[in-house]
Structure 1
Amino acid sequence: METILDIIRRFRTADGEVLRIAGVEAEPFVAVDPRKLRVEAAAGASAQVVVLHTAPEMSELRVELAEGAHLELTELFTAEAFAEVYVTQAAYSRCRLTTVQLSSANASYRIDLDGADAENELGGVFLAAGEEHCVLKLHTAHNVADCRSNSYVKGVAGGCAVGEFCGMVYVAPDAQRTDARQQSRNILLSETARITTQPQLEIYADDVKCSHGATVGQMDAEAILYMRQRGLSEAQARRLQIEGFVGDVVVRCGIEPLCGAILELASAKMEKL
């Protein structure tokens, strides 16, 4: 299996502080430990961008999607980075964002849907072991009518680790026919681990479909027993369950070799949980 670095060496480097995307790009762009990066996608443009954090640095990423632009953004944390991401979307634009924290990290996402029929999907995962502290904050603003958003964040914590998710969906007074969904699901692997989750809605329109939910629980004991009855050890059964739990988020990143490498890193991290 190729490593993350092996894979991203095949991608084009996002040099400088501004990445302008003018057309349909078949090959992904990559930025490693960017201090500041601005991604501008022109009307009708399409691209994939990977941001890799390998050092404990501050990072600011701004994404602007013009009318009809499509962007797939994958952000991976393997070090204790602090990242702020701002996404603004014009009419008919599409943005799919996958964020994975494999170490202590603090990531904040602000998404503004500013044009009709804009759509945003965010999938997030954090795996916290030992005394690590993972934080994921999300603010999705439906500023106009007829937009859609869907966020699903999953967390796993073991040892004395702490995980935090704070999500807000804001619906402006004129943002009728909004469709917004937000879900947070979490698993604790020890009595000393802690995960807090705060999904919130702030709605000022009356013709909307909005939902949110959150769970924090233990592993599925019946599923583990079922797998052990079929020859797996308890450790194997626990690992398989966690892999399935986080894997359905990771595989949506849309870059197949990268997804496999991230899952390999996640599996290695599970040995420490």
Structure 2
Amino acid sequence: MTTLPDILRGFRPAGEELLRITQCVTEPYAAVDPRHLDVQVAAGGAARLVVLHTSPELSALRCTLGEGARLELTELFTAEAFAEVAVAQAARSDCRITTVQLASANAAYRIDLNGRGAENTLGGVFLAADEEHCVVRLHTAHNVSDCRSESCVKGVAGGRAVGEFHGLVYVAQDAQRTDAQQQSRNILLSDTARITTWPQLEIYADDVKCSHGATVGQMDAEAVYYMRQRGLSEAEARRLQIEGFVGDIVRRCGIEPLGEALLEAVAAKMKRM
């Protein structure tokens, strides 16, 4: 099986502390265990960046997008890292974030939409087994009018694991015509696992379209029974259901070999759950 580090070695290195993008770059960049990384995408520029955390370190990533810039960020955790990501977006910029926690981790994302027409999309997954503890914090600030944000974070916990999601959408007083959607969906695989979720809206404008929601539930017993009737073991049925649950998020990275390796990593993690 091809590992995540093997795939990333075929990408462009992001450098030690600064990655400056001035044009549209098709080949993905990669950074492994960065302590501090400043990503600057100039007006009209575009890039894809994959960040892999393989050691229990502190990490700070700052992304600045100029007018009309595009950034696709994929952040992966295979170790207990503490990561802070700050994204500042100018007018008509587009940032798409995919975050996947395959081990205990604590990730905090601060999104600032500072220019009209800016868009941000975040899809997140955490898989917590045994006594692992996964945390996702998301603060999305609509600071000006006519911006759009969408987030969906899915969590799965088994054993005695703990998962947390803290989400806040802030809409400033003059940020009219804001469109913000936030979802937290979670599945518990045992009676001793626990997932807590706190989605929040803080709105000071009156012409907005905002929503948030959260669910925490068990696996679909009928679906598991249906699959077992067709020859699958209970473990196989559970694994397939979870892979289907998180698969749409995992595939968002848009880099085919990486997406395939992530699905393999999810399947391997499910064998422990």
TM range (shorter): over 0.9
Stretches of structure 2 that go unaligned for 5 or more consecutive residues are none
Deviations 1:49-73 (A, max 9, x none): 0000000000000000000000000
- Aligned residue for 1:50? 50
Deviations 1:67-116 (A, max 9, x none): 00000000000000000000000000000000000000000000000000
Shift of 1:233: 1.1
Alpha carbons 2:99, 2:124 under 8 Å: kept: yes
- Aligned residue for 1:107? 107
Shift of 1:37: 0.1
- Aligned residue for 1:25? 25
- Aligned residue for 1:128? 128
Runs of 4+ in 1 over 2 A off after TM superposition: none
Shift of 1:2: 2.2
Alpha carbons 2:131, 2:159 under 8 Å: kept: yes
Deviations 1:105-151 (A, max 9, x none): 00000000000000000000000000000000000000000000000
Shift of 1:4: 1.0
CA distance in 2, matches of 1:49, 1:239: 29
SS of corresponding position for 1:198: strand
CA distance in 2, matches of 1:75, 1:254: 13
SS of corresponding position for 1:197: strand
Aligned identity (percent) is 75
- Aligned residue for 1:239? 239
TM-score normalised by L of structure 1: 0.99
CA distance in 1, matches of 2:16, 2:229: 55
- Aligned residue for 2:263? 263
Shift of 1:156: 0.2
CA distance in 2, matches of 1:266, 1:197: 22
- Aligned residue for 2:221? 221
Residue type of the alignment partner of 2:233: S
- Aligned residue for 1:158? 158
SS of corresponding position for 1:103: coil
Task: Give the alignment's Cα RMSD to 1 decimal.
Answer: 0.6
CA distance in 2, matches of 1:78, 1:2: 15
- Aligned residue for 1:86? 86
CA distance in 1, matches of 2:6, 2:57: 22
Alpha carbons 2:16, 2:34 under 8 Å: kept: no
- Aligned residue for 1:272? 272
Aligned length: 273
Stretches of structure 1 that go unaligned for 5 or more consecutive residues are none
SS of corresponding position for 1:226: helix
